[in-house]
Structure 1
């Protein structure tokens, strides 16, 4: 009985601190979110119809939409189009590489970040070298991946790993370093071991920062996969982007860039929404 009353009081306190917004407030926020895309679409339409960049160079939104439908559904418009119907397999190839690369980066980055954040010896051992390597752009690693892995999916995944690893590591380290001293002291007074502290105190406290690092890492992963696929493999959205440029297919360039943006946005929103609901106390 007392527990149910305590839970009810806790829910009331949370509701009072974070009041729910009305549907009208949510609608206003959503309307703001589409203002800039509508303006960009209007600018694109004007530029293509008025031939601002030259006649026939920039396709209209309607022409790009027709190309996108053909790319997805494979309904060619009476022409032999090598891109027709290839959307699904190229999206799947890029998505799989991002998932594998970011997953390995998260696994190693989170473990190493927690250790660096809580151990002075581990910090001295790894941090100077990591901070020296971190500013190197991901494109600088392309020759090394091609030398060691050749033109293969492994080369692309290794670039994604490098790009995603550092944001995850740095944010995890920051989260582990800013754990409440009072919580650590209380746990030690109750006889908690260092392993228990890392698992039950440090890791949960650092989770908001870790998820911030994951969001950044996923974004960098999509950047890296395009760079890698333009050079190191023969499939995926980066490969399609390069082929569209090679064949002067501006409509396919636009469709590919749009697809990359949508996939990056959706993957970021998934992590963001989960983190916002799970760690609402840290996002206010």
Structure 2
């Protein structure tokens, strides 16, 4: 009896392997392109401090801490055991408190701005009624609201969350309105030809088509939330990244100020990546993102 052995072909597995390899290569290339700028910035920073450079706007780099001093402070903030002062190992406590405040203010802004933006984008009557008032309030700086928030809300988390909400809502609202108004009319015509009910066009047509604009607004608003957080945490709050900067300013600890600034930048970067991950998980394979 003759047994014929049919060779197993591995072509079916090759596309998946090739896709993973391509994705890994793209990430590596992206990292390599991104590295030179921060490395150059650190080198110039170190040279400027040691050389006492004077920059435009009267900036005197001789008063700044060196990258090495800031690095030591970052390590001490995170794990302790380096400088052993009252701030050692407290980073995660401050970062967690700030992240909770940002998440709450941002979530409230999303819950208000997205439905309101959709309504204003779809209804000309709602747009005409609300647009003048919103554009009258929008130019008022969030920092101008801070003293009023302390008076009408009081010290503590709620005033900070309110300021974060104000910082985030208009970016989400305006981008949602623009995204909804930019939905091509032919999509509604195609949905009607396919028998889609008018009540379902919001989920099947409007939201998918407007999603790139909404996502852009969410990302801008999340970044602004971290910016305003420092303002909200400067008064009446003892735990938080903004409060940490205030305490460092009062004690003239420039290394702590710069270290916390770096932490806020990293927190904003990670929050943006987490937001995009959540949106991609919700979107699945649907082409909702640019």
**Partners of 1:209 and 1:121 in 2: CA distance:** 22
> Which of 45, 66, 81 is matched with 2:72 structurally?
66
Is 1:152 matched up with 2:156?
yes
> Which of 196, 202, 207 is matched with 1:198 structurally?
202
**Partners of 2:96 and 2:191 in 1: CA distance:** 46
Aligned to 2:48: 47
Is 1:211 matched up with 2:215?
yes
Q: TM-score, normalised by structure 1?
A: 0.84
Report the CA distance shift for 1:65/1:239 in structure 2 as closer, same or farther (over 3 A).
Answer: same
For structure 2, the residue ranges without an aligned partner over 5 or more in a row are 1-14, 16-20, 55-59
Contact kept in structure 2, 1:168 and 1:214, CA below 8 Å: yes
Aligned to 1:238: 242
Report the CA distance shift for 1:186/1:52 in structure 2 as closer, same or farther (over 3 A).
Answer: closer
Q: Which moved more, 1:38-47 or 1:55-64?
A: 55-64
> Which of 57, 74, 84 is matched with 2:63 structurally?
57
Superposed displacement of residue 233, structure 1 = 2.2
> Which of 136, 142, 156 is matched with 1:138 structurally?
142
Aligned to 2:90: 86
> Which of 79, 98, 103 is matched with 2:102 structurally?
98
Contact kept in structure 1, 2:77 and 2:87, CA below 8 Å: yes
Question: SS of 1:266's equivalent?
Answer: helix
**Partners of 2:62 and 2:123 in 1: CA distance:** 61
Greater gyration radius: 2
Contact kept in structure 1, 2:208 and 2:288, CA below 8 Å: no
Q: Deviations over 1:25-79 (max 9, x none)?
A: 654432221111011100111123234477973222122111111111122536x
Report the CA distance shift for 1:248/1:23 in structure 2 as closer, same or farther (over 3 A).
Answer: same
Please report the RMSD computed on the Cα atoms of aligned residues, expressed in angstroms.
Answer: 2.6
Contact kept in structure 2, 1:211 and 1:271, CA below 8 Å: no
Match runs of 1:7-46 below 5 Å: 26-46=27-47
Q: Deviations over 1:82-121 (max 9, x none)?
A: 2122111100010000111111101111000000000011
Aligned to 1:108: 112
**Partners of 2:185 and 2:78 in 1: CA distance:** 54
